[in-house]
């Protein structure tokens, strides 16, 4: 080997500049790929032996050596070297030191280009599984809370103005449905992650008689990538994951915003557990909703990683370029951030205490049953637009007199329309309004409970 002491040093006459060596090295962050690098290398060695490219004895030596390195890494006894650039070269050099000449044959028929693409896909495949498990835990917590609060009244809002009465359980189910689409997006993303690049080599494939289907089967990939140029150069699977993660974080941020508002003194709809809040260094009365605030803030971090990955890829010609070294840190941080946010939310949701009387009192403000009065008049034969005008006048009276519609006597309502009868107060009650929306997707408590059962079945199927 050249005095340069690099596995690729044969072409070079001068040692690499010390700063350049540190600047171009990736081992400080890509060493987390080590278990997957070893997993891929073992499958590659098994294929090489199966195809007669290396001997069975060499394969056994390689597999044993890699297994020992994996154990050293797991115990924290492996020494990582920047001089060896990345996770792949560190492991290969350590293997060669341990088993000798056979270690040098491991890289036959592959390149670091297809090797790293394989490692990242193996890692991301596992991460998606872990993320979906945390997501399902959060969804289950939402269903449990929704079931307990199916009859709890609260105001529903549009434009953050009181709109119509809804069930608190119904509101929690809206969060569930957002997350269910996120879970589906991650499952769909996994289809495009689970494709094997190994065998594409540097960019054009290899002249050795390799068996890529065998390697794909050994590593649990759906199939080998069809085109060698595409296999080593694109990172659209990582961008797609970052996009799915960004949408999921957007949903968590919206949920956080509502928790922050609801826990404020001005709303007082819920009490967040002390375990998920902090105090103020100067104001002793403060209880700050730091966990949802931080999750809301971390959404911007994940959005930034998505834009970074898109920008990273947009100007690259085929095939592999060193730019792609920059894909790992944003991808790693996206997965870490997303998993952490899901974990803390799944722990926090069961610890939320609803203030039911406060929510019910808030639903009595803002003429939340105005639409129910309009629907009542339509059922009496009045056209909806005319009913809308009648109710608008009744609301104006309520605003002027400081009374809700249900508090206005029949004698004062009837001048607006003779169709208004004594039975109108049934539809003007919060409970009557809630129960009236008795269809799939509606807020009637019966429908909420049925929706919860269907949602649990969906979770069980996936």
The per-residue DSSP string of 43-59 comes to HHHHHHHHTTSS-HHHH
Q: String of b and e for 28-41 (b: at least 16 CB within 10 Å)?
A: eebbebbbbbbbbb
pLDDT of residue 286: 67
Please identify which residue in the block is written with the tokens 């069975």: 56
Judge whether 397 lies within some domain: yes
**β-strand partners of 164:** 156
**At 391, which CATH number?**
1.10.40.30
From CA 218, how far away is CA 208, in angstroms rounded? 19
* Per-residue pLDDT at 53 exceeds 90: yes
Which range among 82-86, 98-102, 406-410 has the greatest average pLDDT?
Answer: 98-102
DSSP annotation of 266 reads: T
**β-strand partners of 158:** 161
Confidence category of residue 54, pLDDT binned at 50, 70, 90:
very high
User: Which among 196, 216, 9, 13 is positioned nearest to 93, based on CA atoms?
Assistant: 9
* Per-residue pLDDT at 104 exceeds 80: yes
Query: What percent of the chain lies above the pLDDT cut of 90?
Result: 87
pLDDT of residue 397: 95
pLDDT of residue 27: 92
**At 300, which CATH number?**
1.20.200.10
Q: Under a CB-based contact definition with an 8 Å cutoff, are residues 277 and 288 in contact?
A: yes
User: Average per-residue pLDDT in the chain?
Assistant: 94
Judge whether 4 lies within some domain: no
Last residue of a domain, one of 55, 81, 108: 108
From CA 362, how far away is CA 356, in angstroms rounded? 10
CA 411 to each of CA 72, 251, 375, 416, 418: distance values in angstroms, whole numbers, following the listed order: 86, 47, 20, 10, 10
pLDDT of residue 13: 61
* Per-residue pLDDT at 257 exceeds 60: yes
**At 94, which CATH number?**
1.10.275.10
**β-strand partners of 162:** 157
Per-residue pLDDT reduced to its tens digit, 117-161: 999 999 999 999 999 999 999 999 999 999 999 999 999 999 999
Burial of 21 from C-beta contacts in 10 A (0-12 / 13-18 / 19+) = middle
* Per-residue pLDDT at 279 exceeds 90: no
From CA 262, how far away is CA 269, in angstroms rounded? 5
pLDDT of residue 5: 60
Please indicate, yes or no, whether residues 103 and 128 belong to a single structural domain of this protein.
Answer: no
User: Which among 174, 359, 331, 384 is positioned nearest to 263, based on CA atoms?
Assistant: 359
Burial of 83 from C-beta contacts in 10 A (0-12 / 13-18 / 19+) = middle
Q: Under a CB-based contact definition with an 8 Å cutoff, are residues 405 and 393 in contact?
A: no
Q: Which of the residues 2, 273, 280, 401 is marked catalytic?
A: 280
Where is average pLDDT lowest: 42-51, 120-129, 277-286? 277-286
Please indicate, yes or no, whether residues 351 and 371 belong to a single structural domain of this protein.
Answer: no
Question: Is residue 433 among the annotated active site residues?
Answer: no
Provide mean pLDDT across the span 75-83.
Answer: 96
pLDDT of residue 1: 37
Q: Which is more confident, 365 or 257?
A: 257
Confidence category of residue 321, pLDDT binned at 50, 70, 90:
very high
Please indicate, yes or no, whether residues 348 and 312 belong to a single structural domain of this protein.
Answer: yes
DSSP annotation of 281 reads: S
CA 460 to each of CA 345, 455, 457: distance values in angstroms, whole numbers, following the listed order: 21, 9, 5
What is the reported pTM?
A: 0.91
Judge whether 342 lies within some domain: yes
Q: Which is more confident, 271 or 10?
A: 271
Per-residue pLDDT reduced to its tens digit, 196-207: 999 999 999 999
* Per-residue pLDDT at 3 exceeds 50: no
Question: Is residue 280 among the annotated active site residues?
Answer: yes
Confidence category of residue 107, pLDDT binned at 50, 70, 90:
very high
* Per-residue pLDDT at 2 exceeds 50: no
Judge whether 229 lies within some domain: yes
SS (H, E, C) 67-112: HHHHHHHHHCCCCCCHHHCCHHHHHHHHHHHHHCHHHHCCCCCCCH
Last residue of a domain, one of 62, 80, 108: 108
Judge whether 353 lies within some domain: yes
Please indicate, yes or no, whether residues 413 and 326 belong to a single structural domain of this protein.
Answer: no
Please indicate, yes or no, whether residues 335 and 375 belong to a single structural domain of this protein.
Answer: no
Please indicate, yes or no, whether residues 177 and 296 belong to a single structural domain of this protein.
Answer: yes
Q: Which distant-in-sequence residues (6+ apart) come within 8 Å of 18 by Cβ? A: none
Please indicate, yes or no, whether residues 265 and 174 belong to a single structural domain of this protein.
Answer: yes
Judge whether 273 lies within some domain: yes
Please indicate, yes or no, whether residues 335 and 372 belong to a single structural domain of this protein.
Answer: no
Please indicate, yes or no, whether residues 194 and 156 belong to a single structural domain of this protein.
Answer: yes
Please indicate, yes or no, whether residues 264 and 210 belong to a single structural domain of this protein.
Answer: yes
Please identify which residue in the block is written with the tokens 């278990």: 35
Judge whether 344 lies within some domain: yes
Confidence category of residue 12, pLDDT binned at 50, 70, 90:
low
Last residue of a domain, one of 335, 361, 387: 361
Please indicate, yes or no, whether residues 406 and 446 belong to a single structural domain of this protein.
Answer: yes
Please indicate, yes or no, whether residues 14 and 36 belong to a single structural domain of this protein.
Answer: yes
Q: Which of the residues 159, 207, 275, 439 is marked catalytic?
A: 159
* Count of domains forming the chain: 3
pLDDT of residue 25: 86
Q: How do strand 161-167 and strand 153-158 relate by DSSP bridges? A: antiparallel
Q: Under a CB-based contact definition with an 8 Å cutoff, are residues 332 and 29 in contact?
A: yes
Confidence category of residue 14, pLDDT binned at 50, 70, 90:
low
Backbone dihedral angles phi then psi of residue 128, each to the nearest 5 degrees: -60, -40
pLDDT of residue 445: 97
Judge whether 96 lies within some domain: yes
Please identify which residue in the block is written with the tokens 């400080």: 28
**Residue 196 belongs to domain spanning:** 113-361
Q: Which distant-in-sequence residues (6+ apart) come within 8 Å of 311 by Cβ? A: none
Please identify which residue in the block is written with the tokens 């962050």: 29
pLDDT of residue 18: 80
């Amino acid at each position: 080997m050249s005095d340069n002491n690099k596995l690729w040093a044969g072409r070079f006459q001068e040692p690499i500049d010390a700063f350049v060596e540190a600047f171009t090295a990736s081992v400080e962050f890509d060493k987390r790929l080590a278990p997957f690098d070893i997993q891929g290398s073992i499958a590659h060695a098994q294929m090489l032996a199966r195809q007669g490219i290396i001997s069975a004895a060499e394969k056994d030596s390689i597999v044993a050596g890699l297994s020992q390195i994996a154990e050293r890494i797991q115990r924290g006894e492996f020494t990582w070297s920047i001089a060896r650039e990345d996770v792949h070269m560190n492991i290969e050099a350590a293997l060669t030191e341990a088993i000798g000449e056979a270690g040098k044959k491991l890289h036959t028929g592959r390149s670091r280009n297809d090797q790293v693409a394989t490692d990242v896909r193996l890692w991301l495949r596992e991460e998606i599984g872990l993320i979906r498990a945390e997501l399902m835990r959060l969804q289950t917590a939402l269903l449990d809370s929704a079931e307990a609060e199916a009859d709890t009244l609260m105001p529903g809002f549009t434009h953050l103005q009181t709109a119509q009465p809804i069930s608190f359980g119904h509101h929690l189910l809206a969060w569930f449905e957002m997350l269910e689409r996120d879970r589906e997006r991650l499952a769909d993303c996994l289809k495009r992650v689970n494709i094997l690049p190994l065998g594409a080599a540097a960019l054009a494939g290899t002249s050795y008689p390799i068996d890529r289907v065998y390697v794909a089967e050994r590593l649990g990939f759906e199939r080998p990538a069809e085109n060698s140029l595409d296999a080593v150069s694109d990172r659209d699977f990582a961008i797609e994951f970052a996009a799915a993660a960004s949408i999921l974080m957007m949903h968590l941020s919206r949920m956080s915003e509502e928790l922050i508002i609801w826990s404020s003194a001005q709303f007082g709809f819920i009490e967040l557990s002390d375990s998920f809040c902090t105090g103020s260094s100067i104001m002793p009365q403060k209880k700050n909703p730091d966990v949802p605030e931080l999750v809301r803030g971390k959404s911007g971090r994940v959005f930034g990683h998505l834009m970074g990955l898109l920008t990273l890829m947009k100007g690259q010609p085929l095939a592999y370029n060193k730019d792609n070294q920059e894909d790992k840190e944003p991808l790693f941080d996206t997965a870490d951030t997303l998993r952490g946010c899901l974990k803390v939310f799944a722990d926090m949701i069961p610890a939320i205490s609803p203030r039911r009387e406060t929510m019910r009192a808030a639903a009595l403000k803002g003429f939340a049953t105005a639409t129910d009065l309009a629907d009542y008049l339509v059922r009496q034969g009045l056209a909806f637009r005319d009913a809308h005008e009648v109710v608008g006048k009744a609301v104006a009276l309520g605003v002027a007199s400081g009374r809700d519609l249900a508090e206005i006597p029949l004698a004062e309502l009837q001048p607006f329309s003779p169709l208004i009868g004594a039975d109108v107060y049934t539809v003007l009650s919060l409970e009557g309004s809630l129960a009236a929306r008795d269809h799939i997707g509606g807020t009637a408590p019966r429908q909420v409970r049925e929706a919860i059962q269907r949602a649990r079945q969906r979770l069980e199927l996936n």
